[in-house]
Structure 1
């Protein structure tokens, strides 16, 4: 949304929450150069380059003032309509009127906007309980925190098993926040383990920290592992299930969105937008839908099946190993941005084998076992996907380290060589 008028119209159409993105970004100095994925933002907004970041002039007060102006414009509109609170106007589409005699192109003129104003019921929030999300009744607060607390206090490992359903959303996130508060990222892998049985709700294991592992026997909804931050996620169908895991979707869309660290092992396929904006996690899945690895900047992704269209679009970092038995992957990727290579380097082969072994240990995947048992035969079908610029920087870093630079020095020097401006 861009203005108070936008908010008013959305509310009258029934919206109860309102999102702002582009406009606040512009108030912080963004000039819409559309080079975010290239790490060359000349205004220092979307870049890791220290010199470019020095140009950033944005302040929190800029966004605060923008939102105050939004609120002021909205209050003026509410006053003209006779509403005292935003709640009173939600869903009153009868206060909206379609503009007539407006010059529009043929496509806009074909829209029947009357449909938007029909059968909308006003929403009244007189009851304060309407905003009670009952967090105290969630599995994290009601069961996991009390059960884990003695072990968190004593810093001793602990493992438990619970049953879950699709209504258990963001399972593990509150427990993870307590672990982060106490230990930051100092715990060993699998220090605390929660075995889950059933269908996981949205955002299962979101922002999971290092030391916490969630294992699910079943399937999961969208946003699986969103923002994974060092923890481990494992999911596999019940071994008694009659279907073949590798041929079925086990987790929903937008899994591991914005993951920064950790591991995820999925015995089955993922929906669309798998691992979008992954910047450091290692993930294994046995197939994914469209837009997989979009804008990925780091980490490893192993895809043991088909990927869907628009694969690795905008990918600027990280490495993917894809099992391409039909040798059709080239149709799904933009090879101007990324390179597709055979797995020939010893380092890549060892890394793939290591990840597959862990995937099998965690999920008992039949497909992983088959590949490991006939690894040399399957190796010829694997493709390595790596961004062109990332590939060059990795080689430059290696050359600089060979000359005696530390990894940190080599990293910064290689980046500056790639972006001399």
Structure 2
């Protein structure tokens, strides 16, 4: 979670990042961990809320009241000295001003309303939200049912205005000028009976001698990120040149930071025509090339940690540690590569860890070996594996295509999801084009040998029920190659004596 929060903040430093936790026993300990991970908002969700599409067993039996979870989270954060780092939000059946005031007294600063707002515009709680049969026309696409909807935005506005007025009145009765003055003031709550006092003793116990609370500003002081900012400033002045940087494993989410800076300063189409080449030397930290946008071309001479190309959305990544590393089959990238990628290219002149291309939804990848669970839950894109592979290849794969070496075709695929097939003549031509680009960007001797052979010793891996034809799957990749081949790096020279980079 900490890495995910770091990635999101890297791509948009001004974003408020929230984490939602179910109100449950021990949620306070989890909340302290979320605060340490860098979240801005923690939502405690009680058992009373939830969508009408939820199973009845979940609605009735999941979670505990938001009051218990909220107080537990607030108390744990205060005792750990982390309360000033985050804001607490609560939801789960809030309806009245009394709910808002009690939530504030228990520690909440923000309040979520879902069901109450729906009731204000006419929801009758039929709990058919997932069936397209909502009787009042709210949660349905059926035109006849939608015609029954009589709500309007003013209904919701009136509800919240009345709610706010009642909250102000309750605060005035308590002698408070704003809701901020009562946050965490649990001593203002009194049980009605001795029995209730015994049952709520832990909930209503004030926090004694709390430590000092200090906010934690999220400042990025990475030297590499500062250098990338200067490169973006040059791009603003229409300067076009290649950039070279040293990188260490403490430099995380480099692609996310770079892409975010470009989009904020230059706009979404700034790199589509010109492109920018960045070469890195060293060992990259987690999420190298994450969320990399179209027109950004990253080359790494070295190795990288997990999450390479996570959320890749149009960029090109090439990773190599030299010809000898490729021949030895060195592992150059970590686990969970291309997680959720939607487009772009990844070329690795070496092997990858486990869960390669998990949830790949459109990217092209060439790699020289993968660990277990490759192409898991893949929905689109092309993955070419020029070496060994682990078990469970293609589990849950519903789209896209994979290609593996014939000599590695032992029964490691998940045959409940995928099947193997021989190549068509057109696939040979398309794969050769991809391999030539792999050699161009990484200097891979393995790919060079395959190109010198008369036929490619590859097998196709496809879903048992492909969503489209092989030609249709390849069409978007080929169109991208047409646009990208003239924009990216100069060909890489293959040097037989070149060895792995040692930092």
- Establish whether TM, by shorter chain, passes 0.5: yes
Measure the CA separation in 2 of the matches of 1:21 and 1:309.
39
SS at match of 2:366: strand
Q: Aligned runs of 1:279-294 on 2, under 5 Å?
A: 279-294=361-376
Question: What secondary structure does 2:242 align onto?
Answer: strand
- The structural deviation recorded for 1:222 is 0.5
How far does residue 178 in structure 1 lie from its aligned partner after superposition? 2.8
1:18-417 matches, cutoff 5 A = 27-28=50-51, 31=54, 70=66, 72-77=67-72, 85=78, 87-88=80-81, 126=212, 128=214, 131-140=216-225, 142-154=226-238, 156-181=239-264, 182-185=266-269, 187-188=271-272, 191-238=275-322, 243-245=325-327, 247-328=329-410, 331-343=411-423, 345-376=424-455, 379=456, 381-390=457-466, 393-394=468-469
Question: In 1, Cα distance between the equivalents of 2:44 and 2:454?
Answer: 47
How many Å apart are 1:8 and its aligned residue? 2.1
- In terms of Rg, which structure is larger? 2
Segments of 5+ residues of structure 1 without an aligned counterpart are 33-65, 91-123, 399-421
Deviation at 1:346?
Answer: 2.1
Work out whether residues 212 and 232 of structure 1, in 8 Å CA contact, stay in contact via their aligned partners in 2. Answer: yes
Distance 1:359 1:275 in 2: 17
The number of aligned residues is 317
1:189–1:212 contact (8 Å) kept in structure 2 = no
Match of 1:114 in 2: none
Q: Distance in 2 between matches of 1:212 and 1:175?
A: 9
Q: Structure 1 stretch 5-14 or stretch 176-185: which is displaced more? A: 5-14
| More RCO (CA 8 Å, sep 6+) | 2
Which stretches of structure 1, 4 residues or more, deviate above 6 A after TM superposition? Answer: 12-15, 18-24, 66-69, 395-398
Tell me if the contact between 2:222 and 2:251 (Cα under 8 Å) persists in the aligned partners.
Answer: no
1:116-167 deviation per Cα after TM superposition (whole angstroms, max 9, x unaligned): xxxxxxxx985747x3443143422x1111133132342x533110101000
Q: Please list the CA deviations of residues 378-407 of structure 1 after superposition, one character each: whole Å capped at 9, or x if unmatched.
A: x2x31101113225x338989xxxxxxxxx
**Structure 2: how far apart are the matches of 1:224 and 1:21?**
32
Could you list the per-position Cα deviations for residues 149-194 of structure 1 after superposition, in whole angstroms to 9, with x for gaps in the alignment?
132342x533110101000001132221133343425634771111
Quick one: structure 1 residues 180 and 132, their matched pair in 2 at CA, closer, same or farther if it must change by over 3 Å? Answer: same
Change (3 A) 1:15 1:213: same
Deviation at 1:325, TM superposition (A): 1.2
The alignment yields a C-alpha RMSD, in angstroms, of 3.6
The CA deviation string for residues 291-320 of structure 1, in whole angstroms up to 9 with x for no partner, is 110000001100001210111000001011
Q: Which runs of 5+ in 2 are unaligned?
A: 1-20, 56-61, 84-209, 474-503
TM-score if structure 2 supplies the norm length?
Answer: 0.56
For normalisation by structure 1, the TM-score amounts to: 0.66
Return the alpha-carbon distance in structure 2 between the equivalents of residues 74 and 216 of structure 1: 46
